[in-house]
Amino acid sequence: MNKLLEVRNLTKSFAQPLGASHMLWQNVNFALGYGENMSICGESGSGKSTLLFALGRLEDVQSGKIFFEGKEVTDEKSSNIKGIRYIFQHYQLVNELDVYENIVLPCYMQRCPVDAKLLKLLLETLKLESLQHRMPAYLSGGERQRIAIARALITQPKLLLADEPTGSLDEDSGRQVMDLLFYVCKTLGTSFILVTHNISFAKETNHVFYLKQGTLLNEEG
Ligand SMILES: Nc1ncnc2c1ncn2[C@@H]1O[C@H](COP(=O)(O)OP(=O)(O)OP(=O)(O)O)[C@@H](O)[C@H]1O
Ligand SMILES: [Mg+2]
Protein backbone atom coordinates (compact mmCIF):
# COMPACT_ATOMS: atom_id res chain seq x y z
CA MET A 1 0.00 0.00 0.00
CA ASN A 2 1.16 3.53 -0.75
CA LYS A 3 2.49 5.70 2.02
CA LEU A 4 0.72 8.99 2.71
CA LEU A 5 3.91 10.95 2.06
CA GLU A 6 7.17 9.80 0.56
CA VAL A 7 10.21 12.00 0.11
CA ARG A 8 13.18 10.88 -1.97
CA ASN A 9 16.55 12.57 -2.13
CA LEU A 10 15.17 16.05 -1.62
CA THR A 11 17.80 18.79 -1.85
CA LYS A 12 17.45 22.50 -1.21
CA SER A 13 19.99 25.23 -1.83
CA PHE A 14 19.83 28.99 -2.10
CA ALA A 15 21.55 31.17 -4.64
CA GLN A 16 24.09 33.49 -3.06
CA PRO A 17 25.58 36.74 -4.33
CA LEU A 18 28.38 36.29 -6.92
CA GLY A 19 26.70 33.15 -8.29
CA ALA A 20 27.65 30.78 -5.46
CA SER A 21 24.97 28.61 -3.85
CA HIS A 22 24.42 27.57 -0.24
CA MET A 23 23.24 24.01 0.42
CA LEU A 24 20.57 24.05 3.16
CA TRP A 25 19.86 20.29 3.25
CA GLN A 26 20.45 17.40 0.89
CA ASN A 27 19.28 13.83 0.20
CA VAL A 28 16.35 14.11 2.59
CA ASN A 29 14.52 10.76 2.63
CA PHE A 30 11.58 9.60 4.70
CA ALA A 31 8.12 8.11 4.44
CA LEU A 32 5.05 8.68 6.57
CA GLY A 33 2.17 6.20 6.72
CA TYR A 34 -1.54 7.06 6.86
CA GLY A 35 -2.51 8.23 10.36
CA GLU A 36 1.11 8.37 11.53
CA ASN A 37 2.83 11.44 12.89
CA MET A 38 6.46 12.53 13.09
CA SER A 39 8.55 15.39 14.39
CA ILE A 40 11.51 17.35 13.07
CA CYS A 41 13.89 18.98 15.53
CA GLY A 42 17.06 20.94 14.89
CA GLU A 43 18.88 24.17 15.61
CA SER A 44 17.50 27.50 14.56
CA GLY A 45 18.45 28.07 10.93
CA SER A 46 18.92 24.36 10.15
CA GLY A 47 16.13 24.55 7.55
CA LYS A 48 13.12 23.00 9.31
CA SER A 49 10.57 25.59 8.15
CA THR A 50 12.00 25.52 4.62
CA LEU A 51 11.57 21.73 4.61
CA LEU A 52 7.92 22.00 5.70
CA PHE A 53 7.32 24.66 3.04
CA ALA A 54 8.93 22.40 0.44
CA LEU A 55 6.70 19.45 1.43
CA GLY A 56 3.50 21.46 0.85
CA ARG A 57 4.96 23.05 -2.31
CA LEU A 58 5.18 26.55 -0.87
CA GLU A 59 8.89 26.40 -1.70
CA ASP A 60 10.70 24.86 -4.70
CA VAL A 61 13.50 22.30 -4.34
CA GLN A 62 16.59 21.76 -6.48
CA SER A 63 16.25 18.01 -6.84
CA GLY A 64 14.46 14.98 -5.46
CA LYS A 65 10.85 13.85 -5.49
CA ILE A 66 7.78 14.23 -3.27
CA PHE A 67 4.90 11.74 -3.45
CA PHE A 68 1.59 12.41 -1.71
CA GLU A 69 -0.86 9.50 -1.61
CA GLY A 70 1.25 7.73 -4.23
CA LYS A 71 1.10 10.61 -6.73
CA GLU A 72 4.17 12.67 -7.53
CA VAL A 73 3.58 16.30 -6.49
CA THR A 74 7.14 17.65 -6.77
CA ASP A 75 6.12 20.22 -9.38
CA GLU A 76 2.48 20.58 -8.38
CA LYS A 77 0.99 23.95 -7.35
CA SER A 78 0.32 24.04 -3.61
CA SER A 79 -3.30 25.07 -4.25
CA ASN A 80 -3.79 21.81 -6.17
CA ILE A 81 -2.73 19.68 -3.19
CA LYS A 82 -5.96 19.85 -1.20
CA GLY A 83 -5.00 17.15 1.32
CA ILE A 84 -2.19 19.15 2.97
CA ARG A 85 -2.71 22.09 5.35
CA TYR A 86 -0.36 24.18 7.49
CA ILE A 87 -0.35 25.54 11.00
CA PHE A 88 2.05 28.46 11.22
CA GLN A 89 3.92 29.54 14.32
CA HIS A 90 2.29 32.97 14.38
CA TYR A 91 -1.27 31.74 13.75
CA GLN A 92 -1.90 34.02 10.76
CA LEU A 93 -5.55 34.62 11.63
CA VAL A 94 -7.44 37.23 9.63
CA ASN A 95 -7.95 40.10 12.09
CA GLU A 96 -11.04 41.46 10.33
CA LEU A 97 -12.91 38.14 10.67
CA ASP A 98 -14.32 36.64 13.87
CA VAL A 99 -13.35 33.20 15.18
CA TYR A 100 -16.11 31.32 13.34
CA GLU A 101 -15.31 33.08 10.05
CA ASN A 102 -11.59 32.38 10.45
CA ILE A 103 -12.21 28.67 11.02
CA VAL A 104 -14.49 28.16 8.00
CA LEU A 105 -12.48 30.42 5.66
CA PRO A 106 -10.67 27.48 3.91
CA CYS A 107 -14.06 26.00 2.95
CA TYR A 108 -14.93 29.23 1.12
CA MET A 109 -11.49 29.36 -0.51
CA GLN A 110 -11.84 25.75 -1.69
CA ARG A 111 -15.52 26.25 -2.58
CA CYS A 112 -16.58 23.27 -0.46
CA PRO A 113 -19.49 23.23 2.00
CA VAL A 114 -18.81 23.50 5.74
CA ASP A 115 -19.18 20.06 7.32
CA ALA A 116 -21.42 20.96 10.27
CA LYS A 117 -20.61 17.75 12.20
CA LEU A 118 -16.88 18.28 11.84
CA LEU A 119 -17.18 21.95 12.80
CA LYS A 120 -19.08 20.98 15.97
CA LEU A 121 -16.46 18.36 16.84
CA LEU A 122 -13.60 20.84 16.34
CA LEU A 123 -15.32 23.59 18.35
CA GLU A 124 -15.99 21.12 21.18
CA THR A 125 -12.66 19.33 21.32
CA LEU A 126 -10.62 22.51 20.91
CA LYS A 127 -12.78 24.31 23.49
CA LEU A 128 -13.78 27.12 21.13
CA GLU A 129 -17.58 27.05 21.38
CA SER A 130 -17.90 30.16 23.53
CA LEU A 131 -15.39 32.12 21.44
CA GLN A 132 -17.08 31.80 18.04
CA HIS A 133 -18.01 35.47 17.69
CA ARG A 134 -14.91 36.98 19.30
CA MET A 135 -12.44 38.96 17.14
CA PRO A 136 -8.80 37.71 17.07
CA ALA A 137 -7.49 40.88 18.77
CA TYR A 138 -9.27 39.82 21.98
CA LEU A 139 -7.83 36.30 22.19
CA SER A 140 -4.87 34.78 24.04
CA GLY A 141 -2.02 33.06 22.19
CA GLY A 142 -3.30 29.61 23.18
CA GLU A 143 -6.80 30.46 21.94
CA ARG A 144 -5.42 31.75 18.63
CA GLN A 145 -3.40 28.60 18.15
CA ARG A 146 -6.44 26.40 18.85
CA ILE A 147 -8.35 28.38 16.21
CA ALA A 148 -5.46 27.90 13.76
CA ILE A 149 -5.70 24.14 14.39
CA ALA A 150 -9.48 24.14 13.80
CA ARG A 151 -9.01 26.17 10.60
CA ALA A 152 -6.36 23.74 9.36
CA LEU A 153 -8.61 20.74 9.99
CA ILE A 154 -11.99 22.05 8.75
CA THR A 155 -11.34 20.76 5.21
CA GLN A 156 -10.33 17.33 6.59
CA PRO A 157 -6.78 17.25 5.24
CA LYS A 158 -4.89 13.96 5.33
CA LEU A 159 -1.70 15.73 6.42
CA LEU A 160 -1.09 18.69 8.70
CA LEU A 161 2.27 20.49 8.64
CA ALA A 162 2.70 22.20 12.01
CA ASP A 163 5.58 24.67 12.30
CA GLU A 164 6.36 25.23 15.99
CA PRO A 165 2.68 25.39 16.99
CA THR A 166 3.64 25.98 20.63
CA GLY A 167 6.61 28.26 19.91
CA SER A 168 4.88 31.43 21.11
CA LEU A 169 3.12 29.90 24.11
CA ASP A 170 3.99 29.48 27.77
CA GLU A 171 4.59 25.96 29.05
CA ASP A 172 1.05 25.25 30.27
CA SER A 173 -0.71 26.63 27.18
CA GLY A 174 1.82 24.81 24.98
CA ARG A 175 1.09 21.52 26.74
CA GLN A 176 -2.65 22.07 26.38
CA VAL A 177 -2.39 22.91 22.66
CA MET A 178 -0.21 19.84 22.04
CA ASP A 179 -2.62 17.54 23.91
CA LEU A 180 -5.52 18.89 21.83
CA LEU A 181 -3.53 18.58 18.59
CA PHE A 182 -2.70 14.92 19.30
CA TYR A 183 -6.27 14.17 20.38
CA VAL A 184 -8.07 15.85 17.49
CA CYS A 185 -5.71 14.40 14.85
CA LYS A 186 -6.16 10.92 16.31
CA THR A 187 -9.95 11.35 16.33
CA LEU A 188 -9.97 12.41 12.67
CA GLY A 189 -7.17 10.04 11.52
CA THR A 190 -5.07 13.01 10.35
CA SER A 191 -1.30 12.59 10.05
CA PHE A 192 0.93 15.44 11.10
CA ILE A 193 4.52 16.57 10.90
CA LEU A 194 5.50 18.62 13.91
CA VAL A 195 8.46 21.00 13.84
CA THR A 196 9.44 21.79 17.40
CA HIS A 197 12.29 22.76 19.70
CA ASN A 198 10.55 20.87 22.52
CA ILE A 199 12.13 17.40 22.65
CA SER A 200 9.52 15.95 24.98
CA PHE A 201 6.69 16.89 22.56
CA ALA A 202 8.78 15.45 19.70
CA LYS A 203 9.19 12.14 21.51
CA GLU A 204 5.42 11.73 21.71
CA THR A 205 5.24 11.35 17.89
CA ASN A 206 5.73 8.04 16.05
CA HIS A 207 9.04 9.04 14.45
CA VAL A 208 11.58 11.63 15.58
CA PHE A 209 13.97 13.24 13.07
CA TYR A 210 16.78 15.73 13.54
CA LEU A 211 17.95 18.17 10.89
CA LYS A 212 21.66 18.54 11.48
CA GLN A 213 24.27 20.04 9.18
CA GLY A 214 22.10 19.60 6.12
CA THR A 215 21.13 15.99 6.83
CA LEU A 216 17.84 14.61 8.14
CA LEU A 217 18.64 11.91 10.67
CA ASN A 218 16.16 9.41 12.06
CA GLU A 219 16.46 8.95 15.82
CA GLU A 220 16.16 5.19 15.34
CA GLY A 221 19.35 5.33 13.28
N1 LIG B 1 14.83 32.69 0.19
C2 LIG B 1 15.94 32.50 0.90
N3 LIG B 1 17.16 32.87 0.41
C4 LIG B 1 18.29 32.66 1.10
N5 LIG B 1 18.34 32.07 2.33
C6 LIG B 1 17.15 31.71 2.87
C7 LIG B 1 15.90 31.90 2.20
N8 LIG B 1 14.91 31.39 3.00
C9 LIG B 1 15.53 30.91 4.12
N10 LIG B 1 16.86 31.11 4.04
C11 LIG B 1 17.86 30.71 5.04
O12 LIG B 1 17.76 29.31 5.26
C13 LIG B 1 18.08 29.03 6.63
C14 LIG B 1 17.05 28.12 7.22
O15 LIG B 1 15.84 28.83 7.47
P16 LIG B 1 14.58 28.14 8.16
O17 LIG B 1 13.60 29.21 8.40
O18 LIG B 1 14.14 26.98 7.34
O19 LIG B 1 15.23 27.61 9.53
P20 LIG B 1 14.53 26.92 10.79
O21 LIG B 1 15.25 25.64 11.05
O22 LIG B 1 13.07 26.85 10.59
O23 LIG B 1 14.88 27.92 11.97
P24 LIG B 1 14.01 28.35 13.28
O25 LIG B 1 14.15 27.21 14.26
O26 LIG B 1 14.67 29.59 13.76
O27 LIG B 1 12.59 28.59 12.84
C28 LIG B 1 18.25 30.36 7.33
O29 LIG B 1 19.62 30.62 7.48
C30 LIG B 1 17.60 31.34 6.38
O31 LIG B 1 18.19 32.61 6.46
MG1 LIG C 1 11.44 27.77 11.49
Domain ranges of the chain: 5-218
Q: What is the mean pLDDT of the chain?
A: 94
- Which of 50, 59, 60, 211 to mutate for ligand 1's pocket (most ligand atoms within 8 Å of CB)? 50
Integer Cα distance of 194 and 211 in angstroms: 13
Residue 5 CA to ligand 1 center (angstroms) comes to 23
State if residue 25 touches ligand 1 by the CB under 6 angstroms criterion: no
pTM summary value: 0.93
Specify the CATH number for 5-218; select among 3.40.50.1820, 3.40.190.10, 3.40.50.300, 3.90.1010.10.
3.40.50.300
Residue of 104, 69, 87, 97 whose CA lies nearest to 180? 87
88 phi and psi angles, rounded to 5 deg: -95, 155
Residue of 125, 102, 128, 124 whose CA lies nearest to 114? 102
pLDDT at site 49: 96
pLDDT at site 220: 65
Residue 210 CA to ligand 2 center (angstroms) comes to 13
* Each residue's pLDDT tens digit, 190-205: 999 999 999 999 999 9
pLDDT at site 18: 81
At residue 190, the 3 state secondary structure works out as coil
**pLDDT of residue 15 exceeding 60:** yes
Cβ-Cβ contacts under 8 Å for 157 (sequence gap 6 or more): 82, 83, 84, 85, 190
At residue 34, the 3 state secondary structure works out as coil
Does 148 or 18 have the greater pLDDT score?
148
The packing angle between helices 141-153 and 99-109, to 10°, is: 30
Residue range 68-95: mean pLDDT, rounded: 92
74 contacts 65 by C-beta, under 8 angstroms: yes
Beta strand residue intervals within the chain, DSSP E? 5-15, 21-32, 37-41, 63-68, 71-72, 84-87, 159-163, 191-195, 207-212, 215-218
**pLDDT of residue 82 exceeding 60:** yes
Nearest CA to ligand 1 atom 29: 45
* Each residue's pLDDT tens digit, 144-186: 999 999 999 999 999 999 999 998 888 998 999 899 999 999 9
Amino acid at 211: L
